[in-house]
Structure 1
Amino acid sequence: MGEPQIAPGLATEAVPGQKAAMSDITVPAILQHGTPMTKVSVSRQKPVTLRLDADQGQILYDTKKHRIIPIESIKELRSGSESRYYREQFQLTQELEERWLTIIYICEGRYKTVHVVAPTKDIFRMWDNTLRKLYAIRQEIMSGLGSPEMREALWERQYWKGSDEENDQRLEFENVEKLCKRLNVNSSREDLERLFKQSDVNKQGYLNFEDFQRFVRLLKFRPELDRLYKCICSLNGGTFNFATFDHFMRTSQKSTLSEAEHQKIFVRYATVPERDRPLPPIPPTVETSIPVAVAVNPVPSQSTSTPAPSLPASAPSAIVSTAPTPLAADSTATLVSDGVLTLDGFTSFLSSPDNSAFTDQNGKIWHDMTRPISEYFISSSHNTYLVGHQLVGVSTVEGYIRALLHGCRSVELDIYDGENGPVVYHGKTLTSKVPVRDICQAISRYAFVASPYPVIISAEVHCSLPQQEMMTDIMKEVFGDALVSAPIDGRPKITQLPSPEDLRGRILVKAKNLYVTEHEGVQEKDVTLDTESSSTDVSSSEDVITDVRSEIQELKADLKDLRPNFRGLKSDLRKAKEAMSRVAKSSRPSSVAPTTPRAVTPTPAKDPKAKTKTKMSLSLVSLLVYTVGVKCRGINKKEEYAPEHVFSLSENTMNKILKQGMMDLIKHNRSHLVRIYPKGTRLNSTNYEPHRYWSAGAQLVALNWQTFDLGYMINHAMFQRNGRSGYVLKPKALREYNKEMLGKRTKHFLDVTIISAQQLPRPKDASGREIIDKNIIDPYVEVSVHIPDWTHSPFLPDASVKAYSPASGPSAINATSARTITYKTGVVKNNGFNPVWEDMLSFPFDCVGDMKDLVFVSFAVKQEDKEHDGPLAVYCASLGSLNQGFRHLPLHDAQLSQYLFSTLFVEIGIRDA
């Protein structure tokens, strides 16, 4: 076959500020032209040609339809032994493993998986290495660490390639019109012709790549930033020098950095006026570009309250002079004394990591990790094995892999007897089963990829003694030294839980145990396992009836909306009714938890209705060191629990405790772990709002990670913090149990000005292609503040003009109620490219113990008259990590995957009432 042709990476000089590492990326020409591969599924193998469109950042292949996988929609790449689980499932030979590539991505809001086998090891290595590098670029940009220049270069390459249909390095006016339609730019033909001619500096009648760069800079001109820039300058003598910048940082941005630190930031974006020069153009050789991924979806338009911003008649000079002349290190003093920020320099600063919207979301571990583990909120999942419905869903190792790769630190296993060993599935339901060994192998492989801190396995053990022994042996074999089976460092009796740092790289097992001796080891007597669990919790009969009716109504609504899948959904409905009939029966007081014949031990009790207890293996007891599950006997001064004792509470039980008062629970949670789990009647795997339980100090607030709802979004926002490590230090008031602090209630206003959005996304079809139709959407922004329901009444100022209403009460299909207040901006008509609102919203909220970490703000960009379609883009953050001032917020799709180019420009402020 010979040596593959290599297309060189984009030169560093072409994009000032771009990291050198990015310039080293090469894209083999053979991948661009396409390579034969074998596509593998559970039912068959068939040949396909896989092609990499580097500039548009897409993988393309043909089946019955022309399929597209945007690189930024990829969630994971697995190769070699990492994909062994699938190869073994498909019963294929091990010889294929060294050429196997699995691509997991999201399309139409669902996880999709493509398995391909390369014809040779060399072809495999080219695909594997190139895709991982391109994926890393996009992840770096989306994490906020990539430079604005790199982002701009990727954008230009992607849309240039997508517009140059003839691949002749030129864009005719018709191509430009199509591009603007794709970008949701709703301007007149006359305006576009004027900008086209203005960009065609050589009067060629078409745009080459340099001309195209000029055109998009005119197109992207942001009048709202121009107004802001001029306003700042007018308040400071008409110039944006260092003194102006320092004042802006302290007053508008509420910066607490020193003057020296402000100087370091200023010199990165400042220029000495006489040294300004135009930006060196990127060479228009498409083959040499860094590949770009399109993450575009729905599209917006122009305002009812604000006129549609027209395209500028001419570009300000700053738009075409973005690159400052590089200065030597000893010239820093010159920049500080003589330098200024041009409009472009100011724009670059506002969208850079130096002006991040977040205090601790840049990938670094910020929090002290040496405190006892009970002093942290811990990212936790419920029924981790499920990827769908609670009654008829699929159990798979994928749930564990996805959760662990997103920083989850507590996963759940419901373990039952299987034909060939213990299996995991949702008891009393029709969900499928997965061997415990497969799940342990997945946990072992992925436990510490996203975070080095400990993983807690919450095991609900319903299997017989022999299979408990098998389960323990499997865990010891698979996890090896990582499994905690004795106190660390040979420490004596536990008086305080270890820290996340102490347990770095370790795996802990939590299971219920009704008897723990005061000394090491277990006495010579039966140790029994409580059969209550999150998998069998069904609340009261009355709750069941109410919640089941709500679930059935929701399923019926699904049937109406999704007629193509009528038969499947109708089957789901029938199965749900059958399963819930069994669940309702099991909720009666006289019910007995099902057990396996081998596991049943007659209980010598006089009460014939007494529950049957299942013996517990002593080898399993040996694994319960710092996380010993016990039955909750109440939370008060009379009851004492050892530091390692953990109990699990359903949301129903927790809600009753919260109504009775939180102080005893907060005190208990200062030194003990408590796990909260969703009630059993959340059949569609909906979630509660976790912050109401965090406010009581609960650490392990478990959610259904397969459901992307409000509860999941708040959980995601919390654990984006602290380097996405899955551990977030609790607020001081909860860690110290300071009654004076916990009794302090303050009242505030969150002031949010929604200024503008940039390049709102377009939806994609099932093939991964953008849906481009004649409809130009009319976007608006809905902002909500989510406040824990403190023991106080909600704060609502008397003078407030806008109505305040708490969320509706809890039900099976709605999140548990906490305080929520929501306002909307006006609508911008016919503009999905750069809508400008400049609407100010003011939200009253109260805070207990200065715990702003537990107050969340969410943003949803929606379409007028299409609210039922769901939001175009969303974002959510904790007020404890949200910086004030002018910030660009990254936007995500409904599954919280970040868009590559879409942002929301806002001004944020918090003031005391």
Structure 2
Amino acid sequence: MESPQRLRIQGNENLQRMMAGAMFRKVKSRSSKKQRHFKLKEDCATVGYQSSWTKMSNSSFSVCDVEVVREGHQSEVLQSLAHEFAAECCFTLVFRGRRGNLDLVAETAEEAQAWIQGLRALMENMESMDERERLDQWICDWFVKADKNKDGRMNFKEVRKLLKMMSMDINEQHAMLLFKTADKSQSDTLESEEFVEFYKMLTERKDILALFQEYSSDGQKLSVCDLEDFLREEQLEGDTSQQHAIELIDRYEPSDNAKKGQAMSIDGFLMYLCSPEGSIFNAEHQGLYQDMSQPLCHYFISSSHNTYLLEDQLKGPSSVEAYIQALKRGCRCVEVDCWDGPSGEPIVYHGHTWTSKILFKDVIASVANYAFKVSEYPVIISLENHCSVEQQQVMAKHLSNILGESLLKSTLDGRVPSELPSPQDLKGKILIKGKKIGGIEDNLDEAQATLTGEVSDEDEAAEIDKDSLPPEETSQGEKNSKQSLCKELSDLVVYCKSVHFGGFEKSRETGKPYEMSSLSESKARKYIKEAGTEFVQHNTRQLTRLYPSGMRTDSSNYCPQDMWNVGCQIVALNFQTAGTEMDLNDGLFNQNSSCGYILKPTFLREYENAFDPDRPQDSGNYHPKKLIIKVVSGQQLPKLSKKEGSIVDPLVRVEIYGVPQDQSKQETKHIDNNGFNPLWNESLLFTIHTPELALVRFVVEDYDMGMRNDFIGQYTLPFTSILQGYRHIPLLSKDGTSITPSSLFVHIQTTDLA
């Protein structure tokens, strides 16, 4: 069976070489450089690699998981070995999610180029596939897996095994009936086209068929009027026109005859519902739809904590790759912990721990290269400065030289600001957050001074149990907590001056718009509990940065929602740690073109509003909603266990995150032995008191009566970005990457509550 990927790249010489295979050095470090044989598999979608001494496959990766191919010495490992391996023989595969890079060295520059160009061609083709071609590719992959003897046919035994692999347990008599119906050649085997027919019968969407027939005038097709009725009554597209219905038919109907008759078949209807236009996420919110001209403090800002770490904050590796990954995910505030290093060069790592060390100048170079790849709006470098005056001067020099014109060194208009500038005003600019000698007023007067004060508002390393520290670091932790600040570094701090938080009253009386404070999660929770409304008011005028407790040595995260509820802008999370907390962060920031800035609701921007998250009903902006989610069905949920014959027992849980009154969870019953096409048809009802702050998280789990359920996939989005009607929800892995074609099919209805 020819895969769509292979059909589209036939005749490509690079692909022919890749399918023949090649030897590469797989480089992990200076001491780990092992020979491996890499080969593109017949599906043209998977690369397998073997060791030099055995023919058994060690591992593989899917081409669709590769985000980018870098040529030459474009990784820390390959840069460190530049003297040993020529740049033209080196390349790096960067994967989506949190999977580490794959650094490879070819035997010749020609071989390297064949793979670089070949992989890029495959990736480009994958990206350009439509929904039908992606599904065909997926079917092809299963056919190849099930065809164990590689004869291009499948007998019934192979088909039964395939159904188990696909996490589906159906009656053997029913499976045999489908098999015989598809076996047109009566050979007791299925050839590729027969297998496609078998698959279509197997995957018949009865839920979609019932919906189709409900709106079809003749039970066979949807006329333009039928489709208009569906769009208006179910999808609640009030301004639906005849022209829009015709456009959908032209876009999604596969039959030319149906198109000519201006009608949509069941196949076209299914393609429409599975398309981006049938997604739960409002397409208008995917683009840049918010006002970007308000002061910085009026936005939630995607922010990373301990950005240099790839793993935990006690022993994990530090890497510039962590900055690259965060910036590519739309992060707009990165943290840099700076310490005195050897040879006069400042280093970055988590102080007083076993985390590895990287050069400050390399970190700044990575920020310079990737700051504006996915968003043109400003990046804030949050400096945690533990350096001597001498190495602070080196830091200032590196910041100026490496960042160049993108580094903001003075106010935009040369005046002392009465409010912060906007993301629009600061496009393409990098701001430094840190301690500052005096204020902007003094800086403009060229004041000469030296500040002596606390080392840091957020010396999280000091919170770590000293018994867990390296011996040589424990003594460093005892050092004097006072520090001098050099003027060169101080002058680079403009709109983000770090100040100790002295309480809301002091902030109200003497706080300046360019002053900001950093608070630990525990201090923030204390203020939220004791003075939530004052916290909201403070955040209408000034920036607040929150960070996880230093006791989180595993780099776990706190729930950011509580902090967003009071308008905190820079809620820093460990981007390297997957979980619910990062799902919420991704869910909030995936809107507005994923630019890293989300405009806060009106009641969090107006000082006079006095919004209280604990009592949203007291707000003048109180507009509660009723949310009804009918979980209809699931499609191709992945099997988690490698155990032979294991099948998923899926359930769906809907979680609401928002103000305290909105926090709730409900779930469906589980479906026994069917991860392939489970059908729930269960409705879940929620009351949303503050829809402007609510996030909705759909979670699919594999039910286990005796143990904790296994995570299958999730999808999180803002309540305000949800479209009503019948919608498909694409599922994401723990890493936030797509697990196509896995999805949920739901019906959404929202109504106003009086």
TM-score using structure 1 length: 0.75
Aligned-partner residue type, residue 197 of structure 1: K
For residues 479-505 of structure 1, the C-alpha deviation after alignment (integer angstroms, 9 at most, x for no partner) is 2222111234x5433233232233222
Q: Which moved more, 1:116-125 or 1:168-177?
A: 168-177
- In the other structure, the counterpart of 1:285 is none
Q: Tell me how far 1:57 sits from its aligned partner.
A: 1.8
Q: Is the 8 A contact 1:376 1:730 kept in 2?
A: yes
Which one of the candidate residues 85, 91, 94 is aligned to 1:101? 91
Measured after TM superposition, the shift of residue 357 of structure 1 is 1.2
What whole-Å deviation, never above 9, does each CA across 1:72-91 have from its counterpart, x for those lacking one? 673544423462421233x3
Question: What's the counterpart of residue 570 of structure 1?
Answer: none
Q: Is it true that 1:905 corresponds to 2:706 in the alignment?
A: no
Unaligned runs of 5+ in 2: 612-618
Distance 1:113 1:676 in 2: 30
In 2, the alpha carbon distance for the partners of 1:137 and 1:853 equals: 39
Shift of 1:523: 2.3
- Cα distance in 2, alignment partners of residues 615 and 453 from structure 1: 32
Q: How does 1:161-240 map to 2 (within 5 A)?
A: 161-233=144-216, 240=222
Equivalent residue for 1:816?
Answer: none
Q: CA 1:55 to 1:256, structure 2 compared with 1: closer, same or farther past 3 Å?
A: farther
1:536: how far off? Answer: 3.1
Q: 1:784 to 1:854 in 2, by over 3 A?
A: closer
Quick one: distance in 2 between partners of 1:868 and 1:119? Answer: 48
Mark the runs of 5 or more structure 1 residues left unpaired by the alignment. Answer: 1-6, 13-21, 141-145, 272-321, 328-334, 549-575, 587-591, 601-611, 765-770, 795-818
1:723 aligns with 2:593: yes
**Take 1:638 and 1:496, find their aligned partners in 2: how far apart are those partners?**
14
Q: Does 1:820 align with 2:663?
A: yes
Q: Give the structure 1 partner of residue 615 of structure 2.
A: none
- Determine helix, strand or coil for the equivalent of 1:456: strand
Counterparts in 2 of 1:8 and 1:155: CA distance versus 1, 3 Å:
closer
Equivalent pair of 1:779/1:864 in contact (CA under 8 Å): no
Distance change in 2, residues 1:432/1:261 (3 Å): farther
What is the CA–CA distance in structure 2 between the aligned matches of 1:229 and 1:363, rounded to whole Å?
Answer: 28
Query: Is 1:881 paired with 2:733?
Result: no
Partner of 1:18: none
Q: Partner residue of 2:485? A: 616
Deviation at 1:708, TM superposition (A): 1.3
1-side partners of 2:700 and 2:509: how far apart? Answer: 46
Counterpart CA distance in 1 for 2:355 and 2:695 is 36
> Against the structure 1 CA distance between its residues 531 and 152, is the aligned structure 2 distance closer, same or farther, given a 3 Å change threshold?
same
More displaced 10-residue stretch of structure 1: 832-841 or 244-253: 244-253
What code does the residue aligned with 1:750 have?
L
Mark the CA change 1:230 to 1:862 in structure 2 (over 3 Å): closer, same or farther: same
Q: Say whether the 8 Å CA contact 1:788–1:855 is kept in structure 2.
A: no
Alignment pair present for 1:414 and 2:342: no
Offset of residue 62 of structure 1: 0.8
Match of 2:524 in 1: 654
Q: Helix, strand or coil for the counterpart of 2:99? A: strand
Match of 1:66 among 33, 51, 57: 57
Deviation at 1:68, TM superposition (A): 3.1
Compared with structure 1, are the counterparts of its residues 582 and 377 closer, same or farther at alpha carbon in structure 2 (3 Å cutoff)? farther
Number of residue equivalences: 737
- Specify the alignment match of 2:651 in structure 1: 780
Matched, 1:689 2:537: no
SS in 1 for 2:483: strand
* 1:269–1:110 Cα change, 3 Å: closer
Q: Deviations over 1:693-730 (max 9, x none)?
A: 11212111100112212211111111111122211222
Report the counterpart of residue 244 of structure 2 in structure 1. Answer: 262
Q: CA deviation at 1:630?
A: 1.9
Q: Which residue, out of 450, 453, 464, partners 2:374?
A: 450
Cα distance change on mapping 1:715 and 1:47 into 2, 3 Å: same
Q: SS where residue 457 of structure 1 aligns?
A: strand
Give the Cα–Cα distance (whole angstroms) in 2 for the partners of residues 105 and 503 of structure 1.
Answer: 31
C-alpha deviations, 1:31-52, integer Å up to 9, x for none? Answer: 1121122222321333221111
**Percent of residue pairs bearing the same amino acid type:** 29
State the alpha-carbon separation in 2 of the partners of residues 582 and 417 from structure 1.
15
Pairing of 1:645-794 with structure 2 (within 5 A): 645-737=515-607, 739=609, 742-763=619-640, 771=642, 773-789=644-660, 794=661
Q: Check 1:759–1:72 CA distance in 2 against 1; reply closer, same or farther (3 A cut).
A: farther
Q: 2:262 — aligned with what?
A: 339
Is the CA contact (8 Å cut-off) linking 1:27 and 1:54 kept in structure 2? no
1:441 maps to what in 2?
365
Find out whether 1:245 has 2:177 as its counterpart: no
Residue 352 (1) aligns with residue 340 (2): no
Distance 1:629-1:508 versus aligned 2 partners, 3 A rule: same
1:283 matched residue in structure 2: none
TM-score (norm 2): 0.90
Alignment partner of 1:390 out of 298, 301, 313? 313
- Provide the C-alpha distance between the structure 2 equivalents of 1:530 and 1:499, rounded to a whole number of angstroms: 30
Q: Could you give the per-residue CA deviations for residues 557-601 of structure 1, whole angstroms, max 9, x where no partner exists?
A: xxxxxxxxxxxxxxxxxxx84349999x99xxxxx9755xxxx7x
1:35 to 7, 16, 22: 22
Q: Aligned pair 1:44/2:32, yes or no?
A: yes
Letter in 1 for 2:638: P
Task: Check 1:344–1:380 CA distance in 2 against 1; reply closer, same or farther (3 A cut).
Answer: same
Distance 1:714 1:167, change over 3 A: same
Q: Which of the numbers 340, 347, 351 marks the counterpart of 1:423?
A: 347
Contact preservation (8 Å) 1:58, 1:70: yes
> Alpha carbons of 1:536 and 1:397: their partners in 2 closer, same or farther (altered >3 Å)?
same
How many Å apart are 1:614 and its aligned residue?
1.2
What is the CA–CA distance in structure 1 between the aligned matches of 2:258 and 2:221, rounded to whole Å?
Answer: 21
For 2:420, which of 497, 501, 510 is the aligned residue? 497
Per the TM alignment, residue 905 of structure 1 is displaced from its structure 2 partner at its CA by 0.9
Supply the distance in 1 between the matched residues of 2:124 and 2:561 (Cα, whole angstroms). Answer: 32
Name which of structure 1's ranges 706-715 and 237-246 shifts more when overlaid on structure 2. 237-246
Q: In the aligned structure 1, how far is the partner of 2:11 from the partner of 2:736?
A: 30
- The separation in 2 between residues aligned to 1:783 and 1:580, in whole angstroms, is 44
User: How far apart, in 1, do the equivalents of 2:282 and 2:403 lie?
Assistant: 35
Alignment partners' CA distance in 2, 1:866 and 1:69? 33
Deviation, 1:904, is 1.0
- Output aligned runs, 1:18-29, within 5 Å: 28-29=15-16
Q: CA deviation at 1:858?
A: 3.2
Amino acid at match of 1:752: I
In the TM superposition, what whole-angstrom CA distance separates every residue of 1:517-560 from its partner, at most 9, and x where no partner exists?
A: 52404423322353233233778xxxx9xxx8xxxxxxxxxxxx
What is the CA–CA distance in structure 2 between the aligned matches of 1:756 and 1:706, rounded to whole Å?
32
How far does residue 454 in structure 1 lie from its aligned partner after superposition? 1.7
- In structure 2, C-alpha distance between the alignment counterparts of 1:714 and 1:9, rounded to whole Å: 34
Partner of 2:616: none
Supply the distance in 1 between the matched residues of 2:374 and 2:432 (Cα, whole angstroms). 20
Q: Residue 626 of structure 1 corresponds to which residue in structure 2?
A: 495
Distance 1:661 1:461 in 2: 30
Alpha-carbon distance in 2 for matches of 1:174, 1:856: 43
8 Å contact from structure 2 (residues 5, 122) kept in 1: no
Q: Does 1:324 align with 2:256?
A: yes
CA apart distance, 1:440 = 1.4
In structure 2, how many angstroms separate the alpha carbons of the residues matched to 1:26 and 1:155?
A: 24
Q: 1:733 to 1:256 in 2, by over 3 A?
A: farther
SS in 2 for 1:871: strand
The separation in 2 between residues aligned to 1:419 and 1:169, in whole angstroms, is: 62
Q: Offset of 1:131 from its aligned partner? A: 2.0
Question: Counterpart of 2:725 in structure 1: which amino acid?
Answer: G
Deviations 1:112-156 (A, max 9, x none): 44321122223222212232343345556xxxxx53212222212
CA contact (8 A) 2:231 2:240 kept: no
Q: Quick one: which amino acid aligns to residue 788 of structure 1?
A: V
Stretch deviating more after TM superposition (205-214 or 465-474): 205-214
